Amino acid sequence: MTDKSRYILTDEEIPTSWYNIVPDLPSPPPPPLHPATHEPIGPDDLAPLFPMDLIAQEVSTERYIPIPDEVLDVYRLWRATPLHRARRLEKELGTPARIYYKYEGVSPAGSHKPNTAVPQAYYNAKAGVEKLTTETGAGQWGTALAFAASQFGIECEVWQVRASYDQKPYRRAMMQAFGATVHPSPSEVTEFGRKILSEDPDSPGSLGIAISEAVEMAAADPSVRYALGSVLNHVLLHQTVIGEEALLQMAQAGDTPDVIVGCTGGGSNFGGLAFPFLREKLAGNNDVTIKAVEPKSCPSLTKGTYTYDFGDTAGMTPLVKMHTLGHDFIPDPIHAGGLRYHGMSPLLSHIYELGLIEAQAIGQTDCFAAGVQFARTEGIVPAPEPTHALAAAVDEALRCRETGEEKVILTALCGHGMLDMAAYDAYFAGELRDHEYPEEAIAEAMTRVPEL
Ligand SMILES: *Cc1c(COP(=O)(O)O)cnc(C)c1O
């Protein structure tokens, strides 16, 4: 038993409910506001974008929400995902710490994103929606939604951030393999895309711009809805299947985490892993320290302002209270494309303000160094995003080497990097640099955050 390094669950052990952390928090997160009236929005305001089942989950105060059988059937294609103990990495680091990682790279898209893409496609199909539009940064979310839409017989149209569209042709091809239509963003297809292109024909795009394009298309056609791959409450809710499984697997391993680290773009893989453990902490069953790790060039939690801002660049979405760098701030084109978002999940932002989690920012060269060390010991090339979490886990393990503490560290290895090898190429060629903290650009963008 003692040298076991992989913990698996049977089909019967896959959790059958998602966990909603809201009723367990000391106070609820502040409500989203209507972009024009600044009054709290109601379900009807969201109806042009999302089906009612998802809106109900977005505002739910139920602690547990059953996972529909149709969704569980698709989950079983790759769930439960394995929990690994990183014994070879531990040995390489010479640490007394025990490092565990929950590996989401075994999914059809190669990341955690299908955990929410599948229920989102399911509820939309159930409501009679014919097509879903979305944005994608690194290409992971677009791939996941393309896969999920194909499972439920609906169409999928994706706006892929230009920088990633050019850097990652295989992500585009994968979305097409699952049947999706893919546009580079900004595109000529939408009014907002044309506006951006007229101002800057070489715009590398951003997640915020791509969201505006996808929302514009969905809002214009009643048979089309929009799907978001992170940030929203229902997305974090769906991702809790990761943490519920990990709780069972950590129990199998006979360990309780002292530290959980995860990378945060919009907060969904991190929240998904952490929330079930945070529930146990709030109930007095563990004393885990939970830490979000973000890129230094897009540090929304560590440097952002906690205020109401738009989720997209054009200002079409409701105003949500979150840690933001300004809705028209365009982050440097780092390779962890999935972490280049100006804001943070409002739920996670609220939990951070409550002091229930910590945050740290790391530069991309340190992250790639940890990614390579991980690949050479554990045999999985991580996506650039989770190398942020790995860098923090390695730091913690090295601290344990100094102090002799036998801490238990748990992290989310939320995706593999097999379609991100151009980024590793750049790292090996010495071409990656750590962008300076873009203080002025952020201060500039913050002047356009709406005043309430
Ligand atoms: C999308 C993505 C992220 C960032 O999104 P979160 O909602 O913060 O999880 C991180 N890692 C991978 C592999 C992704 O695909």
3-state secondary structure the chain: CCCCCEECCCHHHCCCEEECCHHHCCCCCCCCECCCCCCECCHHHHCCCCCHHHHHHHCCCCCEEECCHHHHHHHCCCCCCCEEECHHHHHHHCCCCEEEEEECCCCCCCECCHHHHHHHHHHHHHCCCCEEEEEECCCHHHHHHHHHHHHCCCEEEEEEEHHHHHHCHHHHHHHHHCCCEEEEECCCCCHHHHHHHHHCCCCCCCHHHHHHHHHHHHHCCCCEEECCCCCCHHHHHHHHHHHHHHHHHHHHHCCCCCEEEEECCCCHHHHHHHHHHHHHHHCCCCCCEEEEEEECCCCHHHHCEEEEEECCCCCCCCEEEEEECCCCCCCCCCCCHHHCCCCCCHHHHHHHHCCCCEEEEECHHHHHHHHHHHHHHHCCCECCCHHHHHHHHHHHHHHHHHHCCCCEEEEEECEECCCCHHHHHHHHCCCCCCCCCCHHHHHHHHCCCCCC
Decide whether any atom of ligand 1 lies within 6 Å of the 384 Cβ. no
* Pocket lining: 141 vs ligand 1, CB cutoff 6 Å: yes
Check residue 452 and give its pLDDT. Answer: 83
Instruction: Tell me whether residue 405 is in a domain.
Output: yes
Q: Does 420 sit in the ligand 1 pocket, CB within 6 Å?
A: no
Residues 95 and 168 in one domain: no
Do residues 310 and 390 both lie within one domain?
A: yes
User: Does ligand 1 come within 6 angstroms of the Cβ of 105?
Assistant: no
Report which ligand 1 atom has the smallest distance to the Cα of 414: 13
**265 and 322 within one domain:** yes
Tell me: do 366 and 405 sit in the same domain: yes
Specify if 137 maps to a domain.
yes
Instruction: Give the residue, by CA position, lying nearest to ligand 1 atom 2.
Output: 338
Supply the pLDDT for residue 208.
Answer: 84
Does 452 fall in a domain?
no
Q: Domain of 186: which CATH number? A: 3.40.50.1100
Q: Are residues 210 and 82 in the same domain?
A: no
58 lies in some domain:
yes
Find out whether the beta carbon of 140 lies less than 6 Å from any atom of ligand 1: yes
State the residue range of the domain holding 153: 20-64+114-233
Whether residue 387 is found in the same domain as residue 273? yes
Q: Is the CB of 262 under 6 A from ligand 1?
A: no
* Ligand 1 contact, 132 CB (< 6 A): no
Assess whether 223 and 285 both reside in one domain.
no
Nearest residue (CA) to ligand 1, atom 3: 338
Ligand 1, atom 13: nearest CA belongs to which residue?
415
Last residue of a domain, one of 233, 263, 285: 233
With the most atoms of ligand 1 within 8 angstroms of its CB, the residue from 103, 104, 106, 113 to mutate is: 113
- Predicted confidence at residue 138, as pLDDT, reads 84
User: What local confidence, expressed as pLDDT, does residue 58 receive?
Assistant: 96
In this predicted structure, what is the pLDDT of residue 438? Answer: 84
Residue 1 placed within a domain: no
Q: Mark which of 208, 233, 258 sits at the end of a domain.
A: 233
Query: Does a structural domain hold residue 451?
Result: no
Q: Are residues 314 and 381 in the same domain?
A: yes
Q: How far is the CA of 263 from the centre of ligand 1 (A)?
A: 7
Atom of ligand 1 nearest to the CA of 109: 15
Please list the rounded mean pLDDT of every run of 10 residues in the chain (452 residues): 86 97 97 93 91 96 98 98 98 98 98 98 98 94 98 98 90 97 97 96 90 94 95 97 98 97 97 98 98 94 95 88 92 79 95 98 96 98 97 98 98 96 94 85 90 84
Based on the fold, state whether residues 240 and 273 are members of the same structural domain. Answer: yes
- The pLDDT score that the predictor gives to residue 240 is 98
- Residue 111 CA: which ligand 1 atom is closest? 13
* Ligand 1 proximity of 111 Cβ (cutoff 6 Å): yes
pTM: 0.96
For residue 235, report the distance from its CA to the centre of ligand 1, in Å: 12
Cα-to-centroid distance, 112 and ligand 1 (Å): 7
Domain count, the chain: 2
- CA-nearest residue, atom 5 of ligand 1: 265
What is the pLDDT, as a whole number, of residue 2?
59
What per-residue confidence (pLDDT) applies to 300?
95
Residues 27, 99, single domain; the answer is no
Q: Mutate which of 269, 349, 411 to test ligand 1's pocket (most atoms within 8 Å of Cβ)? A: 269
Does residue 217 fall inside a structural domain? yes
* Structural domain ending residue among the three candidates 233, 259, 294: 233
230 touches ligand 1 (CB under 6 Å): yes
Q: Are residues 414 and 382 in the same domain?
A: yes
Q: Could you tell me if the CB of 383 is within 6 A of ligand 1? A: yes
- Whether residue 39 is contained in a domain is answered as yes
346, 260: one domain? yes
